[in-house]
Amino acid sequence: METFGSRLHRATRDRGPLCVGIDPHAALLTRWGLPDDVAGLERFALTVVEALAERVAVLKPQSAFFERFGSRGIAVLESTIRQSREAGALVLLDVKRGDIGSTMAAYASAYLDPESSLCADAITVSPYLGVGSLQPAFDMAATHGGGVFVLALTSNPEGPAVQHAVGAGGRTVAQTVIDEISQVNVGADPLGSLGLVVGATIGDTGHDLSKVNGPLLAPGLGAQGGSPADLRAIFGESLRNVLPSYSREVLGAGPGVTSLQAAADRAVDACRAVIG
């Protein structure tokens, strides 16, 4: 069984270092001339899959924008995940789940067990009930070759109040999360399967990411204000492990397939120029 870290390393080598979000929020559906209903959701998602699933390394559906349509929206999400993976893209499902005990185990089963119709290659999770509470997701990922991206340093203005808070040992909360994930990835080759989410607009915060040995998802590029050049200051010597993530900058080029492809190609080229 090939690990997620190995699959991601190969995908970014072959297709370039790029993750594109699939974020069908109401304003974007309207911009594409689509109705804000399940039919519009499905047309949007399938257009992105048609344009990019054979082209980019990772697609990242934001689960909330599908969930808002209830069971019919979840059915579209299932189809989006399946078709993206069949076309060769890795799917990172952005769900940001975080809970304890059997509830966390149920989330892990829903998103990382191949028997589930929602199974993705990797998911995002929140560590703020303690990194240890995420162990069911880590275990499920290890069993089935999946990946987990843990929130560490996010770009939202509310984040630093929690993430930069200093604990009794002198480390920030974020650095504690970073260090715990780094320990799990020790010795992984070519890349660990547990990653971190670190916003592309946070600047140099002084946190040490050098020992993570896992993928570093960097959302916030493009329309959200971040640029590939910003990644050098944030990630330093860990730049080679960064997975840049674009959403509105690429999706805003739709609804034309060729326009979406051209936007993704520009993003890949810009990221390659920095990351290599």
| Tokens representing residue 273 in the block | 């120029």
Count other Cβ atoms within 10 Å, centred on residue 186.
9
Q: Are 70 and 77 in contact (CB under 8 A)?
A: no
Residue 18 contacts residue 275 (beta carbons within 8 Å): no
Contact of 137 with 102, CB cutoff 8 Å: no
Give the whole-angstrom CA distance, residue 73 versus residue 42.
8
Query: What is the distance between the alpha carbons of residues 138 and 28, in angstroms, rounded to a whole number?
Result: 34
DSSP class per residue in 209-243: -TT--S-EEEEEEGGGSB-TTHHHHHHGGGGGGEE
Instruction: Please say whether the beta carbons of 234 and 218 come within 8 A.
Output: yes
Dig out the tokens for 10 from the structure: 């190969």
φ, ψ dihedrals at 185, nearest 5°: -85, 0
Q: Which residues are catalytic?
A: 96
Q: Which of 54, 191, 75, 68 is nearest to 122 (CA)?
A: 191
CA–CA separation, 266 vs 248, rounded Å?
Answer: 14
Q: How far is CA 39 from the centre of its chain?
A: 25
Write down the residue that tokens 């120029």 correspond to.
273
